[in-house]
Amino acid sequence: MVGEALAFYLLAAITLASGIVVVTSPNLVHSAVALVPALLGVTGLYILLNAEFLAGVQVLIYAGGITVLILFVIMLTEGATGLRVPQRNEQGPIGAAVAGAAAAVLIAVATRTPWAHGAGVLPSYTPGAIGESFLGPNLLLFEGTSVVLLVTLVGAILIARKED
């Protein structure tokens, strides 16, 4: 259990520290690259929460997919990485206040609510459990996802393609 606490604090520190770089770095590529350790930190938390399959998905889709997409777009649009223009608008203090207030409210709710502890045990083999759920009660969700993906593909291609 000491190990779990150690792992949690380590992962939380990695996630938040990289998150701070993502949010504050004046260099957009640095932001995007710092997104990777932040996402990997969250991956570690999933593992601590016994969500192995989700951890694999997180790395494959977020770190290996979305980050690459973001890096591509930065490289396509920002010649010199945006270092020559200010990256922040004039709402700095207000933004910080609003974000801080939102986080404070969430923390207050999280610490004051007596969370109920449910009964039961987590399935130890998460891919199997998720698969059974997709082919059972959540079949519609499973099939619906493919439609969402189709719409995304069509929409994004329509938008991104050069109109000739």
Site for another protein in 101-160 (CB under 8 A): 102-103, 106-107, 110-111, 115-135, 138-139, 141-143, 145-150, 152-160
DSSP character at residue 163: P
Q: How far apart are CA 117 and CA 129, in angstroms?
A: 21
By the rule CB under 8 A, 71 interacts with another protein? yes
**Nearest distance, CB of residue 12 and another protein, angstroms:** 5
CA distance 18 to 40: 10
Cα torsion for 7, 13, 15, 21, to the nearest 10°?
Answer: -160
Question: Hey, what amino acid is at 72?
Answer: F
Size of the site for another protein (CB under 8 A): 126
Question: If binding is defined by CB under 8 A, does position 56 make contact with another protein?
Answer: yes
* 14 forms part of the interface with another protein (CB under 8 A): no
Counting contacts by CB under 8 A, is residue 52 touching another protein? yes
